[in-house]
Amino acid sequence: MIREDLRNVAIIAHVDHGKTTLVDGMLRQGGAFRENQVVAERVMDSNTLERERGITILAKNTSVHFGDVKINIVDTPGHSDFGGEVERVLKMVNGVLLLVDAFEGPMPQTRFVLSKALALGLKIIIVINKIDRPEARPKEVLNEVLGLLIDLDATEEQLDSPVLYCSGRDGTASLSEDGGENLIPLLQTIKDYIPAPEGDETKPFQMLVSSVDYNDYVGRIAIGRIERGKVRKNMEVTITDYKGNIAPYKAKISTLYRIEGLNRVECAEASVGEIVCLSGIPNINIGETVCDSQDPTPLEFVQITEPTVEMTFMVNDSPFAGREGKFVTGRQLHDRLYKELLKDVSLRVTDIPGVDGLNVAGRGEMHLSILIETMRREGYEFQVSTPRVLYKEIDGVLCEPMEELVIDVPEQFVGSVMEKMGYRKGELVSMHPQGDRTKLEFRIPSRGLFGYRNEFLTDTKGEGILTSIFSGYEPCKSDVPGRSFGSLVSYETGEAAAYGIFNAQERGTMFIEPATPVYEGMIVGSSPKQGDIVVNVCKKKHLTNTRASGSDDALRLIPPRKMSLEEALEYISDDELVEVTPKNIRLRKRILDKSLRLKSENRK
C-alpha cells in the first residue's frame, strides 16, 4: 500500500542556517494558524532554553496540509552536540530538506547530517536558504554542496536532487535565484519528489519508537512511524527490542494521537506510514519496537555515535550546601540523571564506586551544560568537575577523539587564530579567503578546544564564528598545555566587603561584588599569573584612634566579571569544581582548606 496522501520529511542543517524559521513560514502558509493569530518567532523552539539561546535542542514534530497531502515535518537540532536527536528521527522520514546558508555554505554539521541521510538512502531536496543576505553567493554554495555529495559517495539520483532558493524569514521559495512570492514551490517539490510512505496495511502492527516525550497526566509518550498494519486505541501490544536488552512484555495503548500543526489530536485509529504518538506504555524507551501481540518482530535501530566528553556530577558538599536547592541528596541526583537516559540516547551515566557521584558522558560541552542548566532550573543542587575526553584503545594504541574545526574570521585575526591553534595541537587542513573574511579548517584533539571558545571571541573581538564536529579517533597527541593563569581564592567564610575586594582587585579580575556570601576555598577571581593567590575579600576597614572607619574617599571598584555556566565550565582546572544551585553558579577548589591544599600539591 502506498499512502499518496502522506509525506514524511525532516529538515537537516548546520546550526543557525534557518531550519526553525523556515518551518515557521511553512506553518503559516500551510494554514496551521488563524488569519489574525499572533504567533511568536521560531514557534517550534518551545523549550525555554531554546528560546533564550536561539538554538534547537530537541527534535520536534509538526505537520502542514498542501492540497490533499499532509506533510509531516521533523525540525531537527543543528548543533553537533545534539546529533543523537538527528540520527534517530531520520528513521521516521522518507526524505530530507538539506538547508544550507547562502553565504556560509556547507559546514561541519552539514556533512554529518547529510552522511546519515545518505546512509539511510533518503531522498534529498537541496534548499539554499537566506538568499536575501547582502553577501549571499548561491551559485558557489550550490557547487560546494554538490562537491560535498560527491565526497560522501552519493548516488547519481542523489546528485540530481532538486534545488530550491529560499528566504525562510520572508517565507519565499523559488526554483531560480530570483526569489519567489511564497513557499508553494517548496511544498510542491516535497509532494512531487519525496516518496509517499509504503507498507502493508493488512499485516500485524509494527512501529519503531524514535522519540519519547513525557506528560504528567499520561506518563511516557512514544513517537514513531507505523511501518506496517494499523493501530487502534485500547489495542493490546507487545514491546520488544532488536538488541535483546529487554524481555518482551505486553501493554495496552490508552491514547493515540496524530500530529496536526503544533497540536496532538486524539484519534481512534491510524494506519501505515503515519507518524503517531502512543501513551499507556509506562517503561517504553527509544529504540524499542511496539508490535501486534500476534507477531512481535522487532525493528533494527540506528547505531548512535558514542559520547566523547565526560564530567563528574557530585553531591554538593560546600559550606553553603542545601541552602538554595530543592533536590540535594545523592539519591535524587542519581534518579534524575538516570531518568534523562530515557529520552537522551546520546548520554551515558555510570556510578562511581565509593563516591557520592556519577560520571556523565555526552557529545560535547554544550550537550552536558544544557543538562546541567535544565537540572538547575528544576531545583537541583550539585557540583560538577571539569570536562575530560574519553580515550579509546584501538589495536593496542591509545586513541583520543578528534574534531573537525571550521573557523570563519576577519582577515586581520587569522594570525592570532593560527598561533592559538598551533599551541593547542591543531593542524591546518585548508584556508579559503571569502571577501574580507577567511575560512580556516583544522583537525584538532577535542581536549585542545576546552576553554578556547571564550578566548577565541576575545581574540576576534566577537566577530569570529567557530564550529566543530567529532570526526573520529586518532593516536594521542602530546600534552596540550593547561591554562596559563591562576585563581584568586577566598581566605575565609563570610560576606565580601568593598574594602576587601578593593585590595584584592589589584591582584586580578574579580568575579564577585560587595555583600556576596563567600566561603574558604571559593574562587572569587582570576589571577593573570600562574598559581593561586589567597585573598581576604571579607576584610573591612577598621577605625583607629585618629580616624573613623568611613572617613576616607569612596573606594572605586572595577565591575566584576559575571560568568555563565559554559564560561565557568571552561574556566576551571582539574583541582576545581563548579557548584551549581538554582540561584547561583559558584567556582571552588576541590580541597577548601588552604593547608590541606598545599599538602596535596606538595605530594604531587
- Cell of residue 351, nine digits: 556510578
pLDDT score at 337:
92
Do 499 and 539 contact (CB within 8 A), yes or no?
yes
Closest to 435 measured CA to CA, from 411, 451, 462: 411
Q: How confident is the model at residue 81 (pLDDT cuts 50, 70, 90)?
A: very low
Q: Name which residue leads in pLDDT, 541 or 361.
A: 361
Crossing angle for the helix pair 184-193 and 19-29, to the nearest 10 degrees:
100
- Over the chain, what is the mean pLDDT? 82
Q: Roughly how many angstroms between the first and final C-alpha of the chain, as a whole number? A: 70
- Cell of residue 593, nine digits: 582548606
pLDDT reading at 579 higher than 90: yes
Q: Name which residue leads in pLDDT, 572 or 25.
A: 572
pLDDT score at 85:
58
- Highest mean pLDDT of the ranges 49-53, 110-114, 211-215, 272-276: 272-276
pLDDT reading at 359 higher than 90: yes
Structural domains of the chain, ranges and CATH numbers in brackets: 6-193 (3.40.50.300), 206-292 (2.40.30.10), 392-475 (3.30.70.240), 486-603 (2.40.50.250)
Please give the Cα distance from 238 to 241 (Å, whole number).
10
pLDDT score at 547:
57
- Average pLDDT, integer, range 115-140: 85
- Average pLDDT, integer, range 427-448: 87
Q: How confident is the model at residue 31 (pLDDT cuts 50, 70, 90)?
A: low
pLDDT reading at 577 higher than 80: yes
Q: How confident is the model at residue 248 (pLDDT cuts 50, 70, 90)?
A: confident
pLDDT score at 16:
67
For 205, other C-beta atoms within 10 Å of its C-beta total 25
Least confident of 397-401, 513-517, 533-537, 599-603: 599-603
Full 3-state SS string of 117-174: HHHCCCEEEEEEECCCCCCCCHHHHHHHHHHHHHHCCCCHHHHCCCEEEEECCCCEEE
- Average pLDDT, integer, range 179-201: 85
pLDDT reading at 74 higher than 70: yes
Please state, in angstroms and as integers, the Cα–Cα distance from residue 367 to each residue in 81, 91, 123, 340, 372, following that order.
5, 22, 29, 12, 9
3-state secondary structure of 70: strand
Query: Exposure of 202 by Cβ count < 10 A (0-12 exposed, 13-18 middle, 19+ buried)?
Result: exposed
Q: How confident is the model at residue 332 (pLDDT cuts 50, 70, 90)?
A: very high
Q: How confident is the model at residue 546 (pLDDT cuts 50, 70, 90)?
A: low
Partner residues linked to 64 by β-bridges: 71
pLDDT score at 349:
92
pLDDT score at 41:
43
- Average pLDDT, integer, range 270-297: 86
pLDDT reading at 252 higher than 80: yes
Please state, in angstroms and as integers, the Cα–Cα distance from residue 231 to each residue in 193, 275, 287, following that order.
28, 11, 18
Alpha helices by DSSP H, listed for 317-398, are 330-341, 365-378
Please give the Cα distance from 108 to 16 (Å, whole number).
13
pLDDT score at 587:
94
Do 459 and 419 contact (CB within 8 A), yes or no?
no
Q: How confident is the model at residue 312 (pLDDT cuts 50, 70, 90)?
A: very high
pLDDT tens digits for range 363-379: 878 788 888 988 998 99
pLDDT reading at 43 higher than 50: no
- Average pLDDT, integer, range 47-52: 46
pLDDT reading at 554 higher than 90: no
pLDDT score at 588:
94
